[in-house]
Structure 1
Amino acid sequence: MGEEVKVSDALIGVGQGSEAVVAIPCSSIQIDISLPLDRMKPRIVNLCKDLFAKWSSVDESCFTIETVSGGITNLLLKVSIRENSGNINLLTVRLYGPDTDLVIDRKRELQALPHLSAAGFGAKLLGIFGNGMVQSFLDARTLSPSDMSITEIASEIARQLHKFHKVAVPGSTEPQLWNDLFRFLDKASVAAAALKFDDSGKQARYESIPFQEIRAEISKLKDLTALLNAPVVFAHNDLLSGNLMINDKEGRLYFIDFEYGSYSYRGYDIANHFNEYAGFDCDFSLYPDKEAQYDFFRSYLQPQKPHKVPDHDLEALFVETNTFRLASHIYWALWAIIQAKVSSIDFDYLSYFFLRYNEYKKQREACFSIAQDYLSRLK
């Protein structure tokens, strides 16, 4: 039977931040993410029995497993368990992709999860295993990229993000963006040196990646954004459509999957979300225009009185967001190089690198000009 690990849980609104320690079942079992669902089922059943004693004697025929979504790093499964009493229990099993620890700080994720859950975000953490976690099931559908631009949904995302950025997670509150970017750059350089493609054209493209140029661009961007004095918050950092779910009947929106969460800049989190309007196809013509951004900012800055937001606050957040927009492109471009080396998931990470880095170069001059013009007017 699985063991238990202690997870510190801040009880929001109880005892003014007093902490309790919650015991979470833990198993050493690992499950191969590349297995077809029929071969994965007995392993998932074994995992559930190992983690949760109350299902240890339930027959395998009482378990039903289906894919909820297949991301480009994780696999999400819905597990239904029919007990002898007839009760149906629903769980979500998240399987990490191979070597995702190269880009994800799992310790940081597990530290943040209970605090975000206590504040009403995501699903409840029920168990941890060798290469994933088990959470409560959310009765909701995953958004599509086009859903995010619907006015009512965009406003609710903004209001929820305002609340999300208020959550205090223990540990250092130093922004991690630049540390992560330089770490990704180092790992991507190593990955690039070791990666070989059978396709000579693809190999030539890979060898053309300008790592020294990227390092210089990161440094310039870091220096420019430092002048903006952007507020630091605990950020989601991966607010794409696949990490947003909605219960249409109740009209309730959920943020899920906090594995990239860290203290970062609020403008980065918002900009990263806006970039995700493009979807994995990277149709950046879908990036929200200034009017749509301002509508989002109003709901974010003052959820209860969006039309009371001063113009200067809107402009400041517009500049902040559209400067950090560039950092988001570099982040995921470098991430893609690392994934090209380690991931077994069928996704063209090399092309994704060029889509993101080329968009960075396309937007760089305009975004730098917006920031520099704004800063010159503040003097």
Structure 2
Amino acid sequence: MGAVNLLNAMEVSEEVRNGCDIEVVRSSLAVDHTLPLPEMKPQLVELCKDLFKQWSNLDESHFSTEKVSGGITNLLLKVSVKEENGNWVHVTVRLYGPNTEYVIDRERELQALHHLSAAGFGPKLLGVFENGMVQSFIHARTLETKDMRNPKLAGEIAKQLNSFHQVKVPGSKEPQLWNDILKFYKKASKLTFDDCEKQKKYTQISFKEVEVEILELKKCLVIMRQELTGHLKSPVVFAHNDLLSGNLMFNDNEEKLYFIDFEYGSYSYRGFDIGNHFNEYAGYECDYTLYPNKDEQYHFFKHYLNPEKPNEVSDNDVETLYVETSLYMLASHLYWALWALIQAKMSPIEFDYLGYFFKRYNEYKRQKDVCFSLAKSYNYKS
């Protein structure tokens, strides 16, 4: 899938429209995410007027706000501005979830955003403030979980993921997956909860067992990449790492697909990005009966491996990616299970993060032997 022309996809004022090399403006202001939207509006207006000087003389009646989506980490808001010439301008304000700096490297995110945007992915970064960012507005709907298994959309996601993985982001190309998992483990294993019920659930976790599982899976995947050159050697790419339905947008009229929200993006393994995406078919409810079956996965792999001629992909290449993805899918469960424990402590959002840990970790344990056996069988055949 070709790069998306972001400057055409957004509605911006003349000052913003001049040239692609737009300097990102910054503000020291913060927006209180806990406020109801009507009470939050004055802060959003003040923020926009501080960031974009062409709006500084407009009164509040020129601004309207609405909620676009609110996941379990961030809040997305649409701010519409009627300029003095009568034209409407729309931007997206993304408010970071409280305490997300414990699990997200914001410097890494901002560095990547410029290069991903230049390559045609996601909205354009327009401004940064104390607890969020302002981006161009994408005229598209956020996908629902069920949309991802639509064959046509699944093929488009695979094609665009192939293009995404070609983007080169400056800096270290060292894969961050195991660094992040071990960082999460270190933080997650030293928590205490004031809530007695939460503390009781937390103490049921054997972190020694979790550590053993992390090291065993890491060893398996490291050996796989070292010894199986040309087979299961999952290449290192700049990965999205959080390709759930909420981070996919689609314009039905133009049939354009957009990736958004790159805050977990880093150099990682191709198999992890794909396996993580497949895990997200289950949604926040973790209904793993929705995990794509083998035929659905093969459909995705063919469009990923050869976007222009998916039917010409060899059976061996498809089977190889199937095995690779199955193993890295396990790493995705460990990653988000540990992430959820940190969120259970740090996030004020009403979500059963502790329950989410157990769902992800239990699914890891349920799938582990099957996936390890699959890899051994493939290694033997190869």
Please give the range of the TM-score, normalised by the shorter of the 2 chains.
Answer: over 0.9
- Tell me the equivalent position of 1:98: 98
Distance 1:209 1:34 in 2: 31
Find the partner of 2:203 among 181, 191, 207. Answer: 207
User: 2:377: which partner in 1?
Assistant: 373
SS of corresponding position for 2:111: helix
Structure 1 counterpart of 2:248: 244
SS of the equivalent of 1:364 reads helix
1:272 maps to 276
1:364 to 357, 368, 375: 368
The code of the aligned residue for 1:365 comes to: D
Distance 1:34 1:117 in 2: 30
Pair 1:112-2:116 in alignment: no
Paired residue for 1:340, among 340, 344, 362? 344
Cα displacement string for residues 25-68 of structure 1 (whole angstroms, at most 9, x for unaligned residues) = 00011112111111110000000000000000111011111100
1:104–1:260 contact (8 Å) kept in structure 2: yes
Find the counterpart in structure 2 of residue 136 from structure 1.
136
Find the aligned partners of 2:212 and 2:233 in 1 and give their Cα distance: 21
Amino acid at match of 1:55: W
After TM superposition, give the deviation of residue 361 of structure 1 in Å. Answer: 0.7
What is the match of residue 295 of structure 1? 299
Report the counterpart of residue 314 of structure 1 in structure 2: 318
Structure-2 residue corresponding to 1:257: 261
Q: Distance in 2 between the 1:87 and 1:97 partners? A: 32
| One-letter code aligned to 2:169 | V
- Distance (Å, rounded) in 1 between the aligned partners of 2:33 and 2:72: 12
Structure 2 residue runs of 5 or longer lacking an equivalent are 1-19, 225-231
For residue 21 of structure 1, report the CA deviation from its aligned partner: 6.9
Secondary structure (helix, strand or coil) at the match of 2:218 reads helix
* Superposed CA offset, 1:117-142 (max 9, x none): 11110000000000100000000000
The alpha-carbon deviation at position 376 of structure 1 amounts to: 2.2
Contact 1:117–1:123 (CA under 8 A) maintained in structure 2: yes
The answer to whether 1:224 aligns with 2:220 is yes
Answer whether contact 1:76 1:93 (CA < 8 A) is retained.
yes
Give 2:123's aligned residue: 123
- Aligned residue type for 2:153: I
How far apart are 1:230 and its partner, in Å? 1.0
The one of 188, 194, 197 aligned to 1:196: 194
The equivalent residue for 1:326 is: 330
Q: Does the residue aligned with 2:91 lie in a helix, a strand or coil?
A: strand
Quote the offset at 1:260 in angstroms. 0.2
Supply the distance in 2 between the matched residues of 1:317 and 1:230 (Cα, whole angstroms).
8
TM-score in terms of structure 1 length: 0.92
Distance 1:196 1:219 in 2: 31
Normalized per residue, the structure richer in strand is 1
- Match of 1:23, SS state, is coil
List gaps (5 residues or longer) in structure 1: 1-19
1:84 to partner: Cα distance = 2.0
1:377 Cα deviation after fit? 2.3
Displacement of 1:174: 0.9
| Alpha carbons 1:34, 1:344 under 8 Å: kept | no
The answer for the alignment partner of 2:82 in structure 1 is 82
1:349 offset after TM fit, Å? 0.5
> Given residue 40 of structure 1, which amino acid in structure 2 is its aligned partner?
M
Give, in angstroms, the shift of residue 326 of structure 1: 0.5
- 4+ aligned runs moved over 4 Å, structure 1: none
Deviations 1:178-211 (A, max 9, x none): 0000000001112x2x223243xx4322111111
- Quote the residue 1:27 is aligned against: 27
Q: Distance in 1 between matches of 2:292 and 2:183?
A: 30
Q: What letter is aligned with 2:264?
A: Y
Aligned length: 355
Give 1:229 deviation, angstroms: 2.1
Distance in 2, Cα, partners of 1:336 & 1:98 = 14
Counterpart amino acid of 1:204?
K
Once residues 48 and 347 of structure 1 are traced to their aligned partners in structure 2, the CA distance between those partners, rounded to angstroms, is: 30
Q: Distance in 2 between matches of 1:377 and 1:246?
A: 41
Q: 1:21 to 1:142 in 2, by over 3 A?
A: closer
Q: Secondary structure at the match of 1:268?
A: helix
1:336 is displaced (CA, Å) by 0.4
| Residue pair 1:28, 1:129 contacting (<8 A) in 2 also | yes
C-alpha displacement of 1:22: 4.9
* CA displacement at 1:343 relative to structure 2: 0.4
1:129 and 1:204 map into 2 onto residues whose CA distance is 38
Which piece of structure 1 moves more, 24-33 or 264-273? 24-33
Aligned equivalents of 1:84, 1:168: Cα separation in 2: 40
Among the aligned pairs, what percent are the same residue?
Answer: 62
TM-score using structure 2 length:
0.91
The Cα RMSD (Å) is: 1.1
Q: How does 1:7-18 map to 2 (within 5 A)?
A: none
Look up the match of 1:49.
49
